[in-house]
Amino acid sequence: MRSLVDTLIVLFGVSTLVFLLLVLIPGDPVDVILGESAQAADRAAMRSALGLDQPLWVRWVDFYADLMRGDLGDSLIRREPVAELIMERLPATLSLAAIALALVLVLALPLGVLAARRHGRWPDHLAQGFALFGVSIPNFWLGPLLVLLFSVTLGWTPVSGDREPGSLILPALTLGLSMAAITTRMVRSSLLEVASQAFLRTARSKGLSEAALTWRHALPNALLPVITVLGLQLGSLLAGAVITEVVFAWPGIGSLLVDAIGQRDYPVVQGVVLVIAIGYVLANRLADLLSGWLDPRIRIAD
């Protein structure tokens, strides 16, 4: 119950900040719609139609009233409901984030475990090297490099877009690599920390194999901090998809956001930022729930 209240407070704060975006961003929505050649009377009429002539608090109340009805307003440029634009794009972003997350799990768990089990030896150095590479390389550079190799040179994948099969591979790889790198490091360090604990010594003395020891006993205990980080990263996957989507012309909410910022389409910017923020909050709450499920002590503490 307390977490639900916390979540609602955070969402209220985020949505208020998002509303204030419209007021704080320099520029005039009327200019965006009517251009510079508009007559003063037309500008005044449009200002009134948009409610921009109302006091800030009235606009704030209207914003919440609309939000409660799921109405995020209309795009100034496309002249379509923002909610519809977002709903049309959201599945593309979610599928990209889901595949990237799957890639993270597929890469980071075995690599982290391998690095911890072969601590100080070459597999560990290799995993650490991969982690350093993944964290250091920016998405906007990695993306074109992958395209040069896999699309242009080898011809295995399409360059960009979502029309051809296999289009998702390179964007997901680009988006997931840095996250996989961070998670690999987390898994490794958590496992090393858990390895010295008494319950593992007991399990080992009972004659359990190293593999069973690692996967059945050490990993579930080491996963708690990893899940917390994954929760944070899952939220940032939505936000982080912005660059990847632009580079790969992936039709998700990230590229919608970038277009809207460039066109000063304030309601769309508001709507997308709100959705990303909600995604972030929900991902973190999900991570909290998972942690509680894995470790009853956390549930009891809550």
Partner 1 sequence: MVRWLLLGLCLLLGACTSESPDHIVFAVATAPSVLDPRLAGDAASERVNALLYDRLVQLDEHGTPGPGMATWQRLNARHYRFTLRADRADYWDGTRPVAADVVATYLSLLDKALGSPHAGGLAHVSEIVSAADDQIDFHLARADPAFPARLTIGIVPARLAADRQAIRAPIGNGPFALVERRENAGLLLERRTDGQRILFAPVADPTMRSLKLLRGEAHLLQNDLPAELYGYLADQPTLELQQVPGTTFAYIGFNLDDPVLAKHEVRAAIAYAIDREAIIRYLFGGRAHTAESVLPPAHWAAVGDLEPHTYDPARARRLLREAGFDEHKPLELSYKTSTDPFRLRIAYVLQSQLAQIGIRLRIASYDWGTLFGDIRAGRFQMYSLAWVGVNTPDILRYAFHSGSLPPDGANRGRYRSDEVDRLIERAETLDAAAAAPLYAEVQRLIHRDLVYVPLWYESNIAVSRGLADYAPGHDGNYLALQRVRVADDRIR
Site residues for partner 1 per CB under 8 A: 25-28, 31, 33-43, 45-46, 49, 77-80, 85, 88-89, 92, 99, 143-144, 147-148, 150-152, 155-166, 168-169, 246-249, 251, 255-256, 258-259, 261-264
Q: How near is the Cβ of 282 to partner 1 at its closest, in Å? A: 24
CA dihedral sign of residues 135, 136, 138, 142: negative
Residue 302 C-beta: closest distance to partner 1, Å: 38
The CA-CA-CA angle for residues 95, 249, 268, to 5°, reads: 80
In angstroms, what is the minimal distance from the CB of 77 to partner 1? 5
Number of Cβ within a 10 Å radius of residue 275: 23
Residue where the block lists tokens 């916390």: 6
Rounded to the nearest 10 degrees, what angle do helices 253-263 and 82-117 cross at? 130
> In this complex, which beta carbon is closest to partner 1, that of residue 89 or of residue 185?
89
Least distance in angstroms from the C-beta of 249 to partner 1? 4
Q: Which is nearer to partner 1, 35 or 296 (CB)?
A: 35
State the nearest-atom distance from the C-beta of 195 to partner 1, in Å: 30
Q: Which residues pair with 81 in a beta bridge?
A: 74
Instruction: Report residue 81: phi and psi, to 5°.
Output: -60, 135
How far apart are alpha carbons 209 and 198 in whole angstroms? 16
Looking at beta carbons only, is 2 or 36 nearer to partner 1? 36
Retrieve residue 200's tokens: 């593992």
Comparison of 164 and 302: residue with beta carbon closer to partner 1: 164
Q: Between 169 and 290, name the residue whose CB sits nearer to partner 1.
A: 169
